[in-house]
Chains A and B, each alone.
Chain A
Amino acid sequence: MQKLVIGIAALATLAACASRPEPTPTPAPTQAPAAQTPSGPVAGSAEDFRVSVGDRVFFGYDRFDLAPEARSVLERQAAWLRQYPMVRVLVAGNCDERGTREYNLALGARRAAAARDYLVSLGVDAGRIETVSYGKERPLDARANEEAWSVNRNAHTQIVSGAVS
């Protein structure tokens, strides 16, 4: 029962999280592609990927399955990566601080693998994607509350090379 309550709370916060602004502003989907906006990021650049596509997907407490929001972000990532085939990425799995260190390293690896596997299923060459887990060691939000934890449970796709500079 306890777990169920926590689970529901986590999902609720996750939903709240998905609707609140990302750390970097994400344009609404209806907007014109960022590359055509004079002030936007250069098409094919790392910033383009981060701002126009979205570089993080989020997970529930002790979960590594992809929620619909996460899938749609990864679908945008896959489309972008297919468009820029020279780009190589590192997918890093991250966890909140409400777990022990080694378990979280393993959980982060599952999250990174879940994101990688979905990108590969969408046609991105597996050879272009490396994965790593940072466990609970690289929180995005330093605060100790549910809002921060829901942000810290993520898979972060970082461009390693091949992007337009």
Chain B
Amino acid sequence: MRSIRTIFAAIAVICAFALGTPAQAQIRVDIEEGHLNPMPIAVVDFLGENAAAQQVGRDLAGVIRANLERSALFRPIAPGAFIERINDLNVPPRFPDWRIIDSQALVVGQVTPLPDGRIRIEFRLWDVLSEQSLTGFQYATTPDNWRRIAHRISDQIYEQLTGERGYFDTRIVFVSESGPRTQRVKRLMIMDQDGANPFFLTSPEAMVLTPRFSPSTQMLTYMSFETGSPRVFLYNLETNRREVLGDFPGMTFSPRFNPDGSGVVFTIDLNGNSEIFAMDLRSRQRRRLTNSAAIDTSPSYSPDGAQIAFNSDRGGSPQIYVMNSDGSGQRRISFGSGRYSTPVWSPRGDLIAFTRESGGRFAIGVMRPDGSGERILTESYLDEAPTWSPNGRVIMFFRESRGQGPRLWSVDLTGRNLRPVPTQTDASDPAWSPLLP
């Protein structure tokens, strides 16, 4: 199994050349409203001096187009409509040829085999209207690492044109499901955010649930029935080493990392009473944060680490509460009609995503941390378990139709860009990684 660090050792960013900086005239995608009028963008198959390089060039362009299209902020133009045939990266394009097909941005690139067996991938992003080069990068990498580069280029384009960080060079860990519903096999699986490169992290014997990424280290935490009773585990993606979080009485579940990855907040259930605890991973000291006879579970830190959203039925039905990270100041924030659970704080800090159960249907929505501004983004027989893209613009979750197995879906904050996420098996409990290092 590959470790992130090895992959990354293979990438050398040779240079980021400073091109013209047209600060004022630059084309710009409005990240809030852009889906109403996606920016037309032309991504040309990257050039290559031999057949192998040309194939990589076509694959790179295909992945970049697919990433941009899925964001719904861009509308990649079909290559068949292109008029100019790009032959040389160093010759400025004929901009009128690109304007006439309504392209506002143009991406060109090149793949060059290097003597040591690696390849050099370079690209440039042009503003077709102002005829200026906006950004460009070169990467030297092993040929099998081209997908990572395609995602990094996609992130460069997204950042340059929206002004916000991208989320394409990321991975998803989720629960791969198989077998009959009464004897479900559930294994941890990890894949790129676009569904490529899936592989299993755990064996079929032990049922696993609710994996979560550390926001800042290459660690996962999840729950497993491996020892018979629910137990929180840690999984180091660099060493593939896993360990039980600690030896606690009762069950442990619903783990999540704190923002810097140095601690985990989770639930311990003892004799039918579930309470939220925080544990420092170095000292292994734990601290109890809730103390009620009710169900207290599903904690999620605010990105500044100062507060924790959680789920409690202390008021008679499951609702979302927020407390300070030392357990003080516990207050209810969900007051809509229905049962609210699975609060997940956005990495931007501005919103809390949740699952709402109302009228026999399950919805994914967002509200501000004070409970105001509730918006439902998607609803079905069962939508559950939201997870945020690292830029806080997209939510992934799982959806089950009545009597069918679960599948992963994504939706943006407008609620209009709802898409299935491709997986080979039934899939649930997605967790989005931070941008890869």
Contact = CB atoms under 8 A, between A and B. Distances in A.
Given A107-B295, A109-B272, A114-B272, A101 B311 contact: no
Interface string B322-358: 0000000000000001010110000000000001011
A102 B429 CA distance: 11
Interface of chain B: mostly helix, strand, loop or mixed: strand
A110 B182 CA distance: 22
B385 A142 contact: no
B403 A144 contact: yes
A92 to B, nearest CB: 10
B85 interface: no
B295 A3 contact: no
A110 B181 contact: no
A56 to B, nearest CB: 14
Contact of A106 (B184, B210, B295, B403): B295
Contacts of A97: 382, 400
A111 B271 CA distance: 10
A102 B182 contact: no
Contact of B357 (A99, A109, A143): A99
A82 interface: no
Contact of A105 (B182, B230, B339, B385): B230
Contacts of B251: 105, 109, 132-133
Contact of B341 (A100, A110, A144): A100
B207 interface: yes
B192 interface: no
B359 interface: yes
Given A105-B253, A109-B269, A100 B295 contact: no
A139 interface: yes
Contact of B317 (A3, A100, A117, A142): A3
Contacts of A71: none
B153 interface: no
A111 B272 CA distance: 7
A2 B336 CA distance: 13
Interface string A71-112: 000000000000000000000000001111111011101111
A113 interface: yes
A137 B184 contact: yes
A72 B269 CA distance: 27
Interface residues of A, number: 35
A144 B405 CA distance: 11
Contacts of A109: 250-251, 269, 272, 274
B297 interface: yes
Contact of A101 (B337, B339, B384): B384
Contacts of B382: 97
Nearest to B250: A109
Contacts of A64: 272
Contact of B359 (A2, A103, A113, A132): A2
Interface string B193-229: 0000000000000010110000000000001010011
A75 to B, nearest CB: 20
Given A137-B209, A140-B182, A102 B269 contact: no
Contact of B385 (A101, A139, A144): A101
Contacts of B274: 106, 109
A107 B357 CA distance: 16
Contact of A102 (B186, B229, B253, B360): B253
A114 B295 CA distance: 14
A103 B297 contact: yes
A62 B400 CA distance: 20
Interface string B238-276: 000000000000110110000000000001010111100
Given A101-B384, A105-B254, A133 B210 contact: no
A2 B339 CA distance: 12
Given A137-B184, A139-B181, A142-B180, A103 B318 contact: yes
A100 B272 contact: no
B357 A98 contact: yes
Given A113-B272, A137-B207, A102 B342 contact: yes
24 contacts: A62-B317, A97-B400, A99-B339, A101-B385, A103-B295, A103-B297, A103-B341, A105-B230, A105-B251, A105-B253, A105-B269, A106-B253, A106-B267, A106-B274, A107-B295, A109-B274, A133-B251, A137-B184, A137-B207, A137-B209, A139-B182, A140-B182, A141-B182, A142-B182
Interface of A: 2-3, 6, 62, 64, 97-103, 105-107, 109-114, 117, 131-135, 137-144
